[in-house]
A and B are shown apart, each in its own frame.
Chain A
Amino acid sequence: MNNNKPGRTRRPVALYSALMALFSLMLALPMAPQAWAGGSEPAAKVVNPGTELWREVRQREAPRAGVTQVAGMDSGVLINIRGEQWRQFRMEQLIPAAGVLIGGVLGLIVFFHLLKRGVRLEHGRSGNYLLRFKEIDRILHWYVATVFIFLALTGLILLTGRVVLIPVFGHEVFSVIASASKEGHNLFGPLFLLGVIGLLIRFVSKNFPGKGDLGWLLTAGGFLGGKHPSAGFFNAGEKIWFWLVIFIGLTISATGLILEFPFFGQDRPMMELSLVLHGVGAVLLVAGLFGHIYVGTAGMEASLESMTSGYVDVNWARQHHDQWAEVCEAEGAVIAGEDLAKKQRLRGTKNRVPDRPVAEEGR
């Protein structure tokens, strides 16, 4: 280039080029890290000053959190490792386990019923009755039953819907179902808690361990060993179910409240733990519920009427809860069948007015 300009001295191109090359080479030296550090110490021995800091940020227990302009729970936490742990538990363990457990229990019940065809009344009906559950107890029981079934249904939709229902309904329709389930589940949750507390108050006195419980358990309610074991107002199996409902029900309710009211400083690990306990407890209760429903209906003859009409046949009481039947009969609490039958018809009749006594003594 220099050569083309008129009236200028020709510069020594070769010299300049060589100097440029040497200069460039010197500049390039920093690009070779190995050559720079005095030759003797390899660079890997020098610790990056941020190493310890980033390790603390990433660690599982109490990761180092920072500050941020964004106000929110946990917004200073850069990496939440537990989230992935929870996600794996929910998707890869809880959901399949729920399917297996619930399906398994249902299958077991069907198998059991086909095998034993339910427990019949040994001596048939006597036609005389005992009052087993007062009205308040029955109202409370069916209240809890209704609310729980609604919660179980909506909860299972939220838990397993992605796997079971999206293939059936598609994404759009299922999101409507899921939104409805979530709102319904959240609203009815506290109602379940009230019901459980009510059950606790009304039935706890009858559910303490008592005479005959151990024997009942050892013979599995008479299943092993032929003879029907002795039992009080509630047998050991019923007592176990009661305490399961109370403890698991209270756990589910407590975790539900933690999840529904996240304004008391709950961080993500606490919410994730609550979700785990909530889900596991709920699945267990649902599985147990199928057994409870079976025993109360097809599994034992003449059981359901205890919770609908409140009265049970004396033979039923003698067969299944002999200690309690004994006490009642001693008190003279047996009600004759004809009087009861008139009042306890499960269907309404056409005449609204209950039967009046016939005027005999000339009024």
Chain B
Amino acid sequence: MITAFIEGPLWYFALVVFLIGVAWRLFAIARIGSKPDLSVPRRSAAVSGFMTSLRRFLPRREMGSRIRLHVLAGYMFHLGLFALLLFAAPHVLFLQEHLLGFGWTPMPYWAFIVTSQIAFAGLLLLWLHRVLNPVTRLISDADDHVAAVLTFVVMLTGCLALMEAFTGLRVLHRFTVELLMIYFPFSRLMHAFTFIPSRAYTGALFGRRGVDA
């Protein structure tokens, strides 16, 4: 009964909330627009926007050694997560069957395990940093913590179901994924879709005026 609900109505509900929510948020941001810039452009805005999007993948040199752990853990988590989501065999099969109708070559199983270990370590270090650093602890709110914990729970339930032999564990993972999908558009996790536009906008705005941002 519960399985049918989670794999049926709740899945469709989560999918709809996720897709429409993300689209709505992006549309709302785009709709704000910007005032026309009447100054003489010093540099191409488009090129600057593109360059800033790439440049911001690495921290500024002024940050020095203070930010090293954060950047390392951050990449561990994000790269591991994308590798997991897009190239782990059970996920590729799922996307093929339930969403896209086509698939691609997945990672070998050992790579699946290693990337998930890296992702777990990265997320754990990131969240601990958030809680133990006095500045980040002060500026973090419930949204930040819920996002981190929920993502961790989704990954954990996936790990627990690795044997792929027990329906309960698979359904638990599916359920937490759906919770995350419903939570996604209303939270900071939207950074997944907004970080490129944000960097590009800032880069374009300042680059047009001749400033590297």
Q: Which A residues have a C-beta under 8 Å from some C-beta of B?
A: 135-136, 138-139, 142-143, 146-147, 175-176, 179-184, 187-188, 190-191, 194, 308-310, 343-346, 348-349, 352, 354
Contacts and interface: CB of A to CB of B under 8 A. Distances in A.
A355 B66 CA distance: 22
Contacts of A308: 132
Nearest to B120: A191
B120 A187 contact: yes
B138 A183 contact: no
A308 B138 CA distance: 14
B133 interface: yes
Contacts of B165: 179
A187 B159 contact: yes
Contacts of B141: 348, 352
B129 A135 contact: yes
Nearest to A139: B128
A339 to B, nearest CB: 12
A143 B125 contact: yes
Does more than half of chain B's interface fall in helix, strand or loop, or is it mixed?
helix
Contact of A188 (B120, B128, B134): B120
Contacts, number: 75
28 contacts: A138-B132, A139-B125, A142-B128, A143-B121, A143-B125, A176-B168, A179-B160, A179-B169, A180-B160, A180-B161, A181-B160, A183-B163, A184-B160, A187-B113, A187-B116, A187-B159, A188-B117, A188-B120, A191-B117, A191-B121, A194-B121, A308-B132, A343-B134, A348-B138, A348-B139, A352-B138, A352-B139, A354-B138
Closest 7 CB pairs of A and B: A180-B160, A183-B162, A139-B128, A138-B132, A176-B166, A176-B168, A187-B159
A135 B160 contact: no
A135 B133 contact: yes
Contacts of B148: none
A344 B134 CA distance: 6
B156 interface: yes
Interface of B: 69, 113, 116-117, 120-121, 124-125, 128-129, 132-135, 137-141, 156, 159-163, 165-166, 168-169
Nearest to B135: A354
A135 B162 CA distance: 34
Contacts of A349: 138
A162 to B, nearest CB: 18
Contacts of A139: 69, 125, 128-129, 132
A176 to B, nearest CB: 5
A48 B30 CA distance: 93
Does more than half of chain A's interface fall in helix, strand or loop, or is it mixed?
helix
B124 A143 contact: yes
A170 to B, nearest CB: 13
B163 A135 contact: no
B175 to A, nearest CB: 14
Given A175-B166, A188-B120, 20 more contacts: A135-B132, A138-B132, A139-B129, A142-B132, A143-B121, A147-B124, A176-B169, A179-B163, A180-B161, A180-B166, A183-B159, A183-B162, A184-B160, A194-B121, A310-B132, A344-B134, A345-B138, A346-B137, A348-B137, A349-B138
B132 A184 contact: no
B117 A187 contact: yes
A281 B163 CA distance: 27
Nearest to A180: B160
Nearest to A347: B137
B194 to A, nearest CB: 20
A143 B129 CA distance: 10
B213 to A, nearest CB: 23
B124 A146 contact: yes
A206 B65 CA distance: 23
Contacts of A352: 138-139, 141
A346 B117 CA distance: 30
A181 B169 CA distance: 11
Contacts of A309: 134
B171 to A, nearest CB: 11
Contacts of A136: 69
A183 B166 contact: no
A260 B85 CA distance: 24
Contacts of A187: 113, 116-117, 120, 159, 162
Nearest to A354: B138
Contact of B117 (A138, A142, A143, A190): A190
B41 to A, nearest CB: 34
A233 to B, nearest CB: 20
Contacts of A175: 166
Contacts of A346: 137
A343 B166 CA distance: 48
A348 B140 contact: yes
B39 to A, nearest CB: 29
Contacts of B121: 143, 191, 194
